[in-house]
A and B are shown apart, each in its own frame.
Chain A
Amino acid sequence: MDAEEFDAFYTASFTRVVGQVYAMIGDRDEAQECVQEAFARAWSHRAQLEKAHAPEAWVRTTAYRLAVSRWRRMVRSRRAPDRALQDGPPTAPPDPDRVALVAALRRLPEEQRRAIVLHHLADLPVAEVAAETGAPVGTVKARLSRGRAALALLLDEHHDELAEGAGHA
């Protein structure tokens, strides 16, 4: 993969992968930082990336693993904030529906949340979700089924709260 190909891949995928990792971990700042780091690693390991069946999955998995690393949180507490990330103008505040969705996802068990995000947000077929998470296809299907049911319940609760709020307003 040469520089031009990588740049095109990065430009096309970055925001999308940030959204996916954000959905998985529930922290926008952390998600963006981890995805940024994952792309730098992708370039650093571009030989591996070229051999990977799905480069975006490689980046997403790397970012996710960074995000869940307990060690990472400890190291961050010991050093100054990462100055490699640019501080640009503040972006718009998040959409309330997006916040609610992420909050609901956070209430799911880890495996269900990840499967839901990969299948419904990243649009991966079940087999690819299985490959990315290292779980059998049947297990992934079970996680999706339970995850959907739980998410629907959680989002129904959210909508009910909003309706009550509107009623009380």
Chain B
Amino acid sequence: MPDLFDPLRGTPDQLVRPALPADEVRRRGDRMRRRRTVAAATGAGLAVALVVSGGLALGRGLTNGAGPSPLPPATQAPSGTPEPSPGPEVGWRTSIPAGFPLADDLEDLVSSSEEELAGPGRDVRVFDVPFEACGRSTDLGAPVDTLAVRHTAPEWFDGRVLQVYGDDAAARGVLEELVGLYDACPKDRFEGPPDTVAVSTVRPVPHGEEGYLVTRTFSVDGPRVPGLELLHVVRTGNALLVSNLSNEGGATDANVALQLGERDPLVEDVATAMCVFAENGCDADGGDGGSLAAAVLGLDQLRDLTRGLSTSWTVVEEQRPTLSCQPVPLSTLEPREAAYTFFDGTGPDGTVNAQAAGAVLELPDVALAEQAFATASGWLRDCGDAGPGARPVAIAHDPVTQRTGWGPATWRVVERPAPEICTECDTGWIDAQGVVLVGNRLALVSLAWTGDLGSGADAAGSPMNDAVETAARLAAGSAPTSEGPAFGPRGLGPVHLGMSAADVESSGAVLEDSHGVGCTTFTAAPEGDPVLGFLTENQGVSVLLVDAEGILTPAGVGIGATEERVREAYPDAEDVPMGLFAPVPGFTDRQYTFAFEDGRLVEMALRLDRQSCVG
């Protein structure tokens, strides 16, 4: 036998081409490492967290939203190319606007010998090969306009196509064919050797008017092998986005979750921009705010807050400043979405004796929300006569800072004369207004009622104490943050410090390999966003690490927060290399650690004392 195999014993002439130089191999490996996942950047030099081999692969996770319409029934007839639409109907946009953000995330990418970026452009070819499953195939039909981008690298394919059809029915037809293809083929067998199985799962995703995700993984003779396809199909109006990411991941469920955590927000951003193809276009500023409508002050909450007032509240359509102290419109804070409500209160005599307003602004990220909060708080502190038409201020009480259960708040009461009521009395408007920061949202609330000037001095008894709490709770209710305590003091959702490996697995987490001194790592997604954890046999879960936005500590600190904000929330924090270390309030056996880059929080950990898994 040894003689028999001598011809295969690795002589250079066996090589098809010369091997790459070793330094080139290392360079490619370094690029893989950088490309692998986000949190590898947090590891260098940080004394309080340790990058596990392969990087802290945490992504942003999915937003938790209701799914769109049920999956279209799988088509039974042989698939074929949908007929081109007969022609555009009046009202459907038939061209893709210049500058459409199909690939903003790839803006800085430069083609090299290893990576190629083609597009975005109308002549970029992406899906030349029809989509196939279980012997059937389909393609993307005949659009009236198209925009595509293709990014390729070794073991990496990222292709995105935005296609516009004559009408929404044509777009829907293509979506149903494509999604139905995979829905009807959960397992696609390829006879060996080796026997390969492609497993496809299809589920709705909350993007666009209807959206689906097809996830394909592969197994060879049983075990999963490297190979992952994430296919997003999203329709809004007469436009269809097809996004395909294929790479060497997918060998574990944890890896699939991590990759989806990175990919889904990119798709969501593109899907959001597709609103230009909706029948009614994108919402204008100050509209009903779509998904934020439930997050803003409503009539029921207002009545609860003002039970002592002799007034009857009604919703009004009049658009007016939410805060009488704001000198400029709230749109100057540049929210990506906003919702507003306005109310008038009518007294027993039929005259308006109270007014109220609520607003929720959603900013693109926590950092921008913090800036907006600081700006709005400044308006309150500087409140004088404010904007045009505002009543003069007769009495300005001190601003109040308050920590709600979801984030910090600033509120203030100013009192203004009400000559329209009487000129010889001390009746005026008691004007209370506040702003509260909840993750990447800003909630604003104002209550104004007629009363004796000077009666607004009692800060402790002011309805604003409850009003900002209510505004915060509403804003948090449908926000990516969880209501009430989130990250800490005990853990995150069902995963707690001290929990055993068995309990961690029961919670749905995926245990990975051992690392370091008897430490087992695991990945959990208790609140939708992945969390990396460490546990040992002795301590159980000893460390939880978060680097995804939207998860807050009880003090309202989340990824993206400034160092100043973190220090404000945790005044007992101590400096450590590249971060802060703070005892968890109310506990003596655990602490938070916060890691910063460029002054912003990029990672936070909740850890037990005397744990040995991280530095």
Contacts and interface: CB of A to CB of B under 8 A. Distances in A.
B113 A36 contact: no
A92 B246 contact: no
B26 A43 contact: yes
A4 B429 CA distance: 78
B29 A43 contact: yes
Contact of B227 (A44, A71, A85, A87): A71
Nearest to B197: A70
A70 B194 CA distance: 9
B567 interface: no
Contacts of A166: none
Given A15-B12, A40-B25, A68 B5 contact: no
Interface in B212-230: 216, 218, 220-221, 223, 225-229
A17 interface: yes
Contact of A95 (B7, B16, B216, B221): B7
Contact of A92 (B5, B13, B54): B13
Interface string B182-198: 00000000101110101
B14 A94 contact: yes
A95 B23 CA distance: 31
B154 A84 contact: yes
A32 B26 CA distance: 17
Interface in A61-96: 65-66, 68-72, 74-75, 77-80, 82-89, 91-92, 94-95
Interface string A119-146: 0110000000000001000000000000
A161 interface: no
Interface in B9-26: 9-20, 22-26
B32 A65 contact: no
Interface in B151-168: 152, 154-155, 157, 159
Given A121-B9, A155-B4, A72 B227 contact: yes
Contacts of B157: 75, 78-79
B225 A16 contact: no
A37 B4 contact: no
Interface residues of B, number: 61
A120 B10 contact: no
Contact of A86 (B18, B192, B193, B221): B18
A47 interface: yes
Given A41-B32, A155-B4, A69 B220 contact: yes
A87 B17 contact: yes
Contact of B246 (A39, A40, A71): A71
B14 A18 contact: yes
Nearest to B28: A40
B4 A101 contact: yes
With a 10 A CB-CB cut-off, give which of A20, A23, A71 has the most chain B CB atoms: A71
B17 A48 contact: no
B53 interface: yes
Given A71-B226, A72-B155, A36 B5 contact: no
Given A72-B155, A91-B15, A10 B22 contact: yes
Interface string A1-27: 001001100110011111110110000
A121 B5 contact: yes
B17 A86 contact: yes
A29 B14 CA distance: 10
A95 to B, nearest CB: 5
B129 interface: yes
B11 A15 contact: yes
B226 A66 contact: yes
B16 A29 contact: yes
Most buried by B among A43, A46, A110: A43
Contact of B152 (A23, A28, A80): A80
Given A6-B26, A11-B22, A48-B53, A68 B220 contact: yes
Contacts of B22: 6-7, 10-11
A43 B13 contact: no
A47 B221 CA distance: 29
Contacts of A57: none
Contacts of A17: 10
B8 interface: yes
Contacts, number: 179
Contacts of A36: 19-20, 25
Contacts of B228: 71
Task: Give the interface centre of A14, A18, A79 by most chain B CB atoms within 10 Å.
Answer: A79
A26 to B, nearest CB: 10
Contacts of A72: 155, 226-227, 248
A102 interface: yes
B54 A48 contact: yes
Contacts of A14: 19
B129 A70 contact: no
A77 B250 CA distance: 19
B66 interface: no
Most B CB contacts (10 A, CB to CB) among A10, A78, A88 go to A78
Contact of A88 (B10, B18, B29): B18
Contacts of B221: 110-111
A75 B9 CA distance: 31
Contacts of B99: none
B30 interface: yes
Contacts of A70: 190, 196, 198, 218, 220, 225, 227
B203 interface: no
Contact of A78 (B13, B129, B216): B129
Given A120-B2, A120-B5, A44 B14 contact: no
B114 interface: yes
Interface string B138-162: 0000000000000010110101000
Contacts of B25: 10, 36, 39-40, 43
A137 to B, nearest CB: 19
Nearest to B35: A44
B116 interface: yes
A68 B225 contact: yes
B8 A23 contact: yes
Given A6-B22, A43-B25, A84-B114, A97 B193 contact: no
Nearest to B228: A71
Given A18-B15, A41-B32, A121-B8, A69 B227 contact: yes
B303 interface: no
Contact of B16 (A32, A65, A83, A134): A32
B33 interface: yes
A39 B22 CA distance: 9
Contacts of A20: 8, 10
23 contacts: A7-B26, A10-B25, A14-B19, A18-B10, A22-B8, A39-B25, A69-B218, A69-B225, A69-B227, A71-B198, A71-B229, A72-B226, A75-B246, A78-B157, A80-B152, A87-B17, A91-B12, A91-B15, A97-B7, A98-B8, A101-B4, A121-B9, A155-B4
Give the 10 A-B CB pairs with smallest separation, nearest first. Answer: A71-B227, A43-B29, A16-B10, A19-B10, A98-B7, A70-B196, A44-B29, A7-B22, A88-B18, A47-B53
